[in-house]
Amino acid sequence: MKNPRNMEDSEKQYPLPSLTQIFVLCSLLLCLRVQKGEALKKKVSGVYVFGDSTVDPGNNNFINTPFKSNFPPYGRDFPKQIPTGRFTNGKLGTDFTASYMGLKELVPPYLDPKLSNKDLITGVSFASAGSGFDPLTPAITNVIPIPKQLEYFKGCKKRLERVLGNKQRVGQHLEEAVFFVSAGTNDFVVNYFTLPIRRKSFTLLAYQQFVLQHLIQFIQNLWTEGGRKFLVAGLPPMGCLPIMITLNSDHAFLQRSCMDKYSSAARNYNLMLQHELRSMQLNMSGLKISYIDTYGPLDNMIHAHDSFGFEDVESGCCGSGYIEAGILCNKYSAVCSDPSKYLFWDSIHPSQKAYHSLFLASRPTIDALINQ
């Protein structure tokens, strides 16, 4: 015998939704789609990237330097597990950014001989892992100096003239492009805090100003070459990099934790950088420039790691995670079973998941720059 309650439920009549309810539902779905997809109101013509390993998709593959990552286990979570030369297990933040802008899924290295004309138009990276604004920094590992990256961009412009037809079209194209600059960490981590040369000539404050002056000059040079929209990344909490903890902490292996001596240098530098960027925007015609905060989001991931799904924020996934990077992170290295649980892929560089989280944190800044 049927349960009377079930019979009662089956006999209930549910009214059809009204046109007003249908309209509201569709509107909500449309809003969700906009939030999930692009929030950009204006089109971006291309993205041109300069800097160090945080934005180098493989330029170092094509130069004579020991500072490479075009071998396993790098690229472990990249499509088809290809070690492209990115110093992480998968994609970089600039890859997520270019995809969000509707340009391409991956930003290619400018030195790739297979680079297509379309790649030149939609954007490339001139960055070189190990580079920095201090001219001494790239000389340490024989990588591409920032001024040389500028020269490569000038060559890119000439190629664009042949593709687009004339200088005027190239100028219009570059006005709608985004220039992404990310460097400076190596100047402090690899250079100032590790080698004695600069410390003999500069106090920390003087060195911060020295690095900033080179950055400002570089942006001015890109502006002269036609760049108008800039995203400039600040320094991360350097005292939290696994390699810095290993080399400088009294508790390198037990009770590892961030070292504020080095992180505070990054915080102060970032404040100075933001001041300089505001000043440049006021004084340079047509310039739109925004600061990308990497310190805050990474600091949040470290101190609230559970909410981001990270289990280890003090060592890298590759090898011991304390010192391995570049050639020390290789096919013979033990690798963690799930890199998404690690903030760092190796002892210096974030994992793909961390890069994606950094991109998500920067999206409001990206939107504001492009939509203004």
- Residue 349 and residue 88 in contact, taking contact as beta carbons nearer than 8 Å: yes
Which residues are CB-neighbours of 214 under 8 A, at least 6 positions away?
Answer: 133, 134, 135, 146
Please choose, from the candidates 344, 341, 340, 346, the residue with its C-alpha nearest in 3D space to the C-alpha of residue 324: 346
DSSP notation for 304-365: THHHHT-SEEEEESBTTSSS--GGGSSTTS-B-S-GGGEEESSSSSBPHHHHHHHHHHHHHH
Please choose, from the candidates 326, 276, 356, the residue with its C-alpha nearest in 3D space to the C-alpha of residue 83: 326
Please choose, from the candidates 181, 179, 121, the residue with its C-alpha nearest in 3D space to the C-alpha of residue 146: 181
- Residue 46 and residue 97 in contact, taking contact as beta carbons nearer than 8 Å: no
DSSP notation for 137-151: HHHHHT---HHHHHH
Beta bridge partners of 124: 48
Active centre residues (catalytic): 53, 346, 349
Place of tokens 């404040």: 271
- Residue 315 and residue 347 in contact, taking contact as beta carbons nearer than 8 Å: yes
